[in-house]
Amino acid sequence: MTNTIREKLNHPVIDADGHTIEFMPQVIEFFSELAGPELTREFEASICVDGLPTVLAARNAGGNPGNMRAPWWSAPCRNTLDRATAMFPRLLNQRLDEIGLDYALLYPTHGLFSLGLRQDDLRQAACRAFNIYHARLYEEYSDRMAPVAVIPTNSPGEAIEELHFAKQLGLKAVLLGGLRVRRDGGDSYVDVLGFEDDQDYDPVWQTCEELGFAPTFHSGGMGWGSRASANNYVYNHIGNFATAQESICRSLFLGGVTRRFPNLRFAFLEGGVGWACNLFSDLLGHWEKRNIEHMRHYDPANLDRAKLEALFEEYAPAEFQGKLPELDRSLRILSNPDENPATLDEFAAVAISQSSDIYDLFVKPFYFGCEADDRMNQHAFNRASNPFNAELKALFSSDIGHWDVPDMAGVLHEAHELVEHGQITEDNFKAFVFDNAVSMLTANSKDFFKGTVIEDAL
């Protein structure tokens, strides 16, 4: 069966973010072959506690105050065919035309949680087991599907090692852990790749470039700040991907990663593009007012003290009379003259010399995964509201396999509604479901689509 929307298009459709749901007994078997029985027992214990991966269950509700209500009933059940499709590669391959997909990048589900395992040997073996699982089971369908390797990033060394292993497996796309939980004594905090790293992660970006990988991120922000309800998953879920992806994107930009690695392309998945439009505009606005040259406007050394004192004498309220000697106490609160000169240029790592540099270092390298039902997708193409009349690079990201897609066969129809409602054009839609994914995946890997069903369409 051919999808009715796909029939009308004169270009292929690439799904930049579909999901498998792993058959965990097989993953455990691969893990056991890698790590032996003792660590396998720890892995099995980490997989599921009361129906949740332990990394989430440890924060799950159970009605207990202070614990986070994590995902529940998050996979298709009434639609049994879709549940099976996410688990069985041959069935998904058979149904791609019905869904309307010519080619699909497939991210793990359980494998996402392996990135959050705290124990080093457990995390590294788990990521490798999931990568072996996807490489072996989906290999014969490589003309239409590309499973994505999970790459742990708690240290540059483990990331580089798994990037090379993913390449050996023949995997063409990678998911990096963009967020890491750090511990300082009894306190823990979220650390973000790319900015003020405690270790040098440039070798990781260099390895991605050498191996032809576009780094992608699929991190979530549940459990942060206000998203920690013990009883309501919806409350925790709304905006959590956008929050996490914004932090990674902002970190890579201000950390100068896109300046140092101009050939790399980065994707931030499942958070949409609304936050990216806002961040792009905010970065421009902040640079215009707080670049190192404009900061002289706020330098306390440039304050005309004699003029200020004269104005004090003439205009200060009666209650201020006699308090001119105390003026410094007030001035220093927002205008401390003792700031460290080495820290004044907060855009130093990005080396921006003119506002158009922000376009080059943000719009060109960054891509944003947008689900079909997200009405904010249109803003990626709204040149009138985006700085420099820019279009941000939105990626069609179906999220098939998860609760927000009750019917896989309807996901392309849902995405096309923006065209039907006049909110984007057919050319915008082509960029959304095809052109942007091609430009991201081939920028550093010219042969990415060689041997696939869409090779000729390029």
- Cβ density class 103-140: b for 16+ within 10 Å, e for less: bbbbbbbbbbbbbbbeeeebbbbbbbbbbbbbbebbee
Is position 134 within any domain?
Answer: yes
Q: Do 159 and 140 reside in the same domain of the chain?
A: yes
Do 252 and 260 touch, CB atoms closer than 8 A? Answer: no
As a whole number of angstroms, the distance between CA 120 and CA 253 comes to 28
* Residue owning tokens 């249109």: 378
Closest to 173 in 3D by CA, of 218, 203, 129: 218
- Residues 209 and 332 grouped into a single domain: no
Range of the domain at 225: 4-288+355-442
pTM of the model: 0.94
Give the CA count within 13 Å in the CB-facing half-sphere of 85.
25
Please indicate, yes or no, whether residues 309 and 425 belong to a single structural domain of this protein.
no
Q: Would 365 be classed as within a structural domain?
A: yes
How do strand 187-192 and strand 179-184 relate by DSSP bridges? antiparallel
Runs of H (alpha helix) within 1-47:
4-8, 24-47
Asked if 62 contacts 70 with a C-beta cutoff of 8 angstroms, the reply is no
In degrees, rounded to 5, the angle at the alpha carbon of residue 56 between the alpha carbons of residues 49 and 196 is: 145
* Of 362, 343, 356, nearest in space to 292 by CA: 343
The amino acid at residue 245 is: Q
| 134 closest CA partner among 174, 189, 79, 164 | 174
How many angstroms separate the CA atoms of 240 and 35, rounded? 34
Residues 253 and 134 in one domain: yes
> How many domains does the structure of the chain reveal?
2
* 181, 329: one domain: no
- Let me know whether 326 and 253 are in one domain: no
Question: Nearest to residue 244, comparing CAs of 265, 225, 264?
Answer: 225
- Tens of pLDDT along the chain (458 residues) come to 679 999 999 999 999 999 999 999 999 999 999 999 999 999 998 875 444 454 454 444 343 444 788 888 998 899 999 999 999 999 999 999 999 999 999 999 999 999 989 899 999 999 999 999 999 999 999 999 999 999 999 999 999 999 999 999 999 999 999 988 776 766 767 889 999 998 999 999 999 999 999 999 999 998 888 898 989 999 999 999 999 999 999 999 999 999 999 999 999 999 999 999 999 999 999 999 999 999 999 999 999 999 999 999 999 999 999 999 999 999 988 898 899 999 999 999 999 999 999 999 999 999 999 999 999 999 999 999 999 999 999 999 999 999 999 999 999 999 999 999 999 999 999 999 999 999 999 999 999 999 999 999 98
- Considering the domain architecture, whether residues 183 and 325 belong to the same structural domain is answered as no
CATH code for the domain in which residue 49 is found: 3.20.20.140
Report if residue 111 sits inside a domain.
Answer: yes
In Å, how far from its chain's centre is CA 382? 22
Amino acid at 379: H
